[in-house]
A and B are shown apart, each in its own frame.
Chain A
Amino acid sequence: MFTKRKSIIGLYTDENSVADAMDGLKSKGFGENEYEVLTGVPYPEGTFGEAEPHLHLHKFPLIGAVFGFCLGLVFTIGTQIAFPVVTGGKPILAIPAMAIIMYELTLLGAILFTVGGIIFESRLPKLFMGAYDPRITEGFIGVVVNTTEDNLDNAQDVFKSSGAEDIKFP
């Protein structure tokens, strides 16, 4: 049966308290996909004992480069066959002239796919922000729990015991 999920957010100013809250949530049996930390600054990985995100970003530039290279090949061959002007007795398909266009398109493909990959892997664009507090970009650290309604009290207890400055039910 579908269970209604709700969110709660605890706001902290101290990094150690956030780590305590994360430990508390783990010990209360919350799953890794039920809570997350929100910060206004990039902290070193694992500062709060959070799970390390698995990324597949390295695949995007490679796929993009292959795509760009193929596009460059088709583009340069197609262009030169479409306008077969012999200049200086050189071949119609002149590799030095083609290589430069292909190089640029290969890199353009890699860059476009990388940017797409960054946005996709960041889970953006996010149409609905969910539990959030503007104070996060002012130095506060938010711990968001998204869980079943009956589990919210447990999360609130953890926030209180770990010294949250503010607790909100968005």
Chain B
Amino acid sequence: MQEHVQLDQKEINKDLLDTIFHTPMWWYLAVTFFGVVFLIGASAFGYLLNQGLGVTGLNRPVFWGAYVVNFVFWIGISHAGIMISAILRLTQAEWRRPITRAAEVLTVFALTAALMAAPLVHTGRPWRAFLPTPWILPYDFARGIWPNIRSPFVWDPMAISTYLVASSLFIFIALLPDLAIIRDRSTGLRRVIYSFLCLGWRGTPRQWKLQIVAGILLSALVLPVFVSVHSIVSWDFAVQIGTEGWHSTIFAPYFIIGAIHSGVAAVATLMAVMVWVWKLHKYITPDHFDAIGRLLIVVGLTWFFFFFLEWVFALYTLEDPEIAMRKLQVFQWPWSGMFAVFLITSFIIPVTAWLFRAVRRSLLWMFITTILVNVGMWLERFLIIVPGLMRRTHLVFDWGSYQPSIIELLMVIATFAWLCLGMLVFSKIFPLVPLFDIKEAMINREKIKIGRKEIPASIRE
């Protein structure tokens, strides 16, 4: 049975705005820690710019390594917000309410982490990415090289920037009523800033109606962008006909469902962190973990089905280069070890565990299992990219392997620190849980009596 916690609006304001008006010591410590880790990564990036790509483990024939793996990983995580927020909003799932904002913010910071992870590095001279060149920004015409405008690498920045703009605006529109609440509780300069940010929100029936319609309309508009982003990322690989394991028609849906798997798992991880760190146990209850756990079972099984199909299609043709690549992934150390860890952590342990109600309702177990999913999903991207490029087949020009250098690893770690830093700073300025959404749930909630049982119910127009 679902828990029924009735809170008044004053209490909700106090609980959910506490981190904005009072800063605990742990917040400063955490921001300092992640800030330092991020700066170390940024220094590694500076060293890379100064010394060139020779300081990485990238070399012929493996020119894509940890940076691109990390890029695909963060794009996957960025699907969390829209999956949770848009789909659950459109289907009017009540349990979405306390987690939509955090999931959307996770999307935005994951996207910026993705942009940092690879495109910035792989432009070669990233400062030129910001110089105005005709038509497409990242292209460098300095040596008179004519770029291929029809390259998939033009699709990437277009799709990701659209997704980033859409997600940021989605968050901003949903923030307006909450910014007004902060404005009403602030004084001095803080009041001026929040008055400006909330655009003079008053809470008229017209504004509320638009707020509700906006949530649904923007969800419907962002969903096709969400689908396109990971499809396009998959086409970075799939449109190359010369790399075994990449040229697959199933790559777009396989990447999308993989992104949803890792993204929803990341939201569940974040939910556990929110309960522990921001003490939101009144708002995010075991019911919410139970619901997201059930969703994760469906997503995990669907992902496994696509993974299975991808292997079936690859092996069915019995083409030597393809078979050689698959053998490399499964039977040759260290890829074989990674493959085992990937399969066990991304599917076997978590999905089996989520079948048990006690696991789904346990914060600790959900935290552990969802972290495992993302360890596995990072390795999955690694196993697609690196063995695919190694080309251990007959009559190839070059055989080679890849091992990430310390510079690459520091930069990968820095993207994780960036996400944590971003979430912490956001939580200091804006509420991580949408107050008006929670309040709406409270006024539309009632206990109804059926026979001798009292059941919590939500009333909807």
A residues lining the B interface (CB < 8 Å): 36-45, 48, 50, 53, 55, 57, 61, 75, 78-80, 82-83, 85, 87, 90, 94, 97, 100-101, 103-105, 107-108, 110-112, 114-115, 118-119, 121-130, 132, 134, 136-139
Contacts and interface: CB of A to CB of B under 8 A. Distances in A.
Interface of B: 8-10, 13, 134-136, 146-150, 154-155, 158-159, 162, 165-166, 169, 172-173, 176-177, 180-181, 184-185, 199-214, 217-218, 221-222, 224-225, 228, 232, 436, 439-440, 443-444, 461
A138 B205 contact: no
Given A85-B146, A112-B165, A115-B173, A124 B199 contact: yes
Given A42-B211, A100-B155, A137 B203 contact: yes
Contacts, number: 173
A138 B9 contact: yes
Contact of A138 (B13, B155, B158): B13
A118 B150 CA distance: 35
A82 B154 CA distance: 15
Contact of A110 (B199, B211, B221, B440): B221
Contact of B150 (A94, A105, A124): A94
Given A57-B217, A85-B149, A124-B199, A105 B158 contact: yes
Given A43-B443, A137-B185, 16 more contacts: A38-B204, A40-B436, A45-B205, A48-B205, A53-B205, A83-B146, A85-B149, A94-B150, A97-B150, A100-B159, A105-B162, A110-B221, A112-B165, A118-B214, A122-B206, A137-B13
Contact of B10 (A82, A112, A139): A139
23 contacts: A38-B202, A40-B439, A55-B213, A82-B135, A83-B146, A83-B147, A85-B148, A87-B150, A94-B150, A97-B154, A100-B228, A101-B155, A103-B228, A107-B221, A108-B166, A111-B166, A111-B218, A115-B169, A115-B172, A122-B206, A124-B200, A136-B202, A139-B9
A101 B154 contact: yes
A166 to B, nearest CB: 15
B159, B200, B436, B439 interface centre (most CB from chain A within 10 Å): B200
A126 B210 contact: no
4 cross-chain pairs, A with B, having the tightest CB-CB distances, nearest first: A126-B200, A134-B184, A139-B9, A97-B150
Contacts of A55: 206, 209-210, 213
B442 to A, nearest CB: 8
B85 to A, nearest CB: 14
A3 B182 CA distance: 36
A82 B209 contact: no
Nearest to A80: B149
A123 B206 contact: yes
Contacts of A48: 205
A108 B207 CA distance: 23
Contact of A122 (B8, B136, B210, B439): B210
Given A85-B149, A134-B185, A111 B202 contact: no
A82 B147 CA distance: 11
B223 to A, nearest CB: 10
B135, B146, B176 interface centre (most CB from chain A within 10 Å): B135
